[in-house]
Amino acid sequence: MEARAKNFSDEISSELKNILTYWKQFSIDNIHGGFVGRRDHYNHLIENTPKGAILNTRLLWSFSAVANFEEDKESLKLAERAWNYIEDNFWDKEYNGVFWELDAQGQPQNTRKQIYAQAFAIYALAEYYNLAKTEKAKDRALELFDLIETNARDIELNGYLEAFQRDWTTIEDMRLSEKDLNSAKTMNTHLHILEAYTLLMQVTNKPEVKEALENLVVLFLNKFLDNETGHYRLFFDVNWNSQSELISYGHDIEAAWLLVEAAKTTKNNLLIENAKKANVLIAEVFLKEGYQIDKGILNEKNLKTGEVDTDRHWWPQVEAMVGLDYAWRISGNKEFLEAKYNIWSFTKKHLIDRKNGEWFFRIDCNNSPYAKEDKLSMWKAPYHNSRALLMLLNL
């Protein structure tokens, strides 16, 4: 057992270095500043691609987290580059908050205020503050917290609304992406507010952040989690009516461990105990439905029709390894531990691109990668896999 654990640790440590080597080599925009917007499946640079807030904040988080984990001057330098670019280009000097998207030259192109992006900016800025102790980064994170709490928090019905116009007035189309429902409240956005507030609380220890974080933990336990199915519901209207029968295995298991970390950060013993119970419940259902031995993690399922999306996306694999590790440590059930190792065996065999670097975005049920998916884009960043490997090395 000890030999297997050491081998696992050595392998993921090596892969973490591979991931960072890729992003150090291929993400920098030496022409327009900051970072490039897109590389395709074959790692070809797609010129004049817009630059998204999600990619850039995830780069800031990833480089900062790696530099916090071990002395890495190059990651520190790239974290500083990301911080400066976000501050200079993504920050809205007139209405505050971060823009959703810039053009390739760094000028505002889509100025909507998506709460998902504001949350990721908090997450990244807090991690960067941990690294560089730049007070302005912490101040920006707290400013974003105030913007979210003032504009997006539903004081009457609880929860957070999805999106706003540039000036923080209401917007008709609140969707995060084309594949999402136009719902007022979503589990995905709340999940990333949860992780952002968790880190912000650890950095600032402010009572107003703690209150908001405790409220989010309660929402995940009482609103999003369906205890009958063991899944998180994803889309809601403003009155908390569920709008979809779709569940996401990746989001289930990612939220399972993030909720435990959030509860632990509040130091509220009741929330900690309930979050741990939820973690084990979700992990048990996850093993039965979303995990297949030697075949990795399925993507989604429609609970009404039973239809399953059997593609294997890169990020649920690593989130599963973390979530199942938490469940094993909480419950002592070694099935979770065995599944973690098995998922890693599948991932290193089928998801890591040995030819062009980094990981495939997704593969089909026959383990063939989708050549139409990007290697680097708004939605393809080092955040998920680098964070999971860092977490597993630290656990």
Please state, in angstroms and rounded to a whole number, the distance separating the CA atoms of residues 120 and 66.
17
End-to-end CA distance of the chain: 16
Give the whole-number percent of the chain exceeding pLDDT 70: 100
Please state, in angstroms and rounded to a whole number, the distance separating the CA atoms of residues 186 and 176.
10
The ranges assigned to domains in the chain are 2-394
Determine contact, residues 51/104, Cβ cutoff 8 Å.
Answer: yes
> What string of H, E and C letters represents the secondary structure of the chain?
CHHHHHHHHHHHHHHHHHHHHHHHHHCECCCCCCECCCECCCCCECCCCCEEHHHHHHHHHHHHHHHHHCCCHHHHHHHHHHHHHHHHHHECCCCCCECCEECCCCCEEECCEEHHHHHHHHHHHHHHHHHHCCHHHHHHHHHHHHHHHHHCECCCCCCECCEECCCCCECCCCCCCCCCCCCCEEHHHHHHHHHHHHHHHHHHCCHHHHHHHHHHHHHHHHHHEECCCCEECCEECCCCCECCCEEEHHHHHHHHHHHHHHHHHHCCHHHHHHHHHHHHHHHHHHHHHCEECCCEECCEEECCCCCEECCEEHHHHHHHHHHHHHHHHHHCCHHHHHHHHHHHHHHHHHCECCCCCCECCEECCCCCECCCCCCEECCECCHHHHHHHHHHHHC
Reply yes or no on whether the pLDDT at 27 is more than 70: yes
Determine contact, residues 366/26, Cβ cutoff 8 Å.
Answer: no
User: How confident is residue 238, by pLDDT bands cut at 50, 70 and 90?
Assistant: very high
Residues forming a β-bridge with 299: none
Determine contact, residues 210/137, Cβ cutoff 8 Å.
Answer: no
Q: What CATH fold (topology level) applies to the domain 2-394?
A: Glycosyltransferase (1.50.10)
- As a whole number, mean pLDDT of residues 261-285 equals 98
What does the pLDDT read at residue 337? 98
pTM above 0.85, yes or no: yes
Question: Which token pair is 35?
Answer: 């970072």
- As a whole number, mean pLDDT of residues 86-94 equals 98
CB-based contacts of 86, cutoff 8 Å, min separation 6: 56, 57, 60, 98, 121, 124
What does the pLDDT read at residue 180? 85
What does the pLDDT read at residue 1? 58
Reply yes or no on whether the pLDDT at 103 is more than 90: yes
Please state, in angstroms and rounded to a whole number, the distance separating the CA atoms of residues 268 and 177.
35
Write the pLDDT tens digit of every residue in 28-57. Answer: 999 999 999 999 999 999 999 999 999 999
Residues forming a β-bridge with 108: 102
Residues comprising the chain, all counted: 395
Please state, in angstroms and rounded to a whole number, the distance separating the CA atoms of residues 137 and 130.
10
Please state, in angstroms and rounded to a whole number, the distance separating the CA atoms of residues 372 and 205.
44
Write the pLDDT tens digit of every residue in 347-361. Answer: 999 999 999 999 999
Determine contact, residues 175/182, Cβ cutoff 8 Å.
Answer: yes
Q: Which residue type sits at 150? A: T
- As a whole number, mean pLDDT of residues 78-95 equals 98
User: How confident is residue 179, by pLDDT bands cut at 50, 70 and 90?
Assistant: confident
What does the pLDDT read at residue 250? 98
What does the pLDDT read at residue 336? 98
Please state, in angstroms and rounded to a whole number, the distance separating the CA atoms of residues 380 and 303.
27
- As a whole number, mean pLDDT of residues 218-222 equals 98
Please state, in angstroms and rounded to a whole number, the distance separating the CA atoms of residues 6 and 10.
6
Question: Which token pair is 295?
Answer: 């075949």
Write the pLDDT tens digit of every residue in 58-77. Answer: 999 999 999 999 999 999 99
Strands 225-226 and 185-186: unpaired
Please state, in angstroms and rounded to a whole number, the distance separating the CA atoms of residues 186 and 117.
14
Reply yes or no on whether the pLDDT at 9 is more than 80: yes
Write the pLDDT tens digit of every residue in 144-167. Answer: 999 999 999 999 999 999 999 999
The residue with tokens 């150090």 is 24
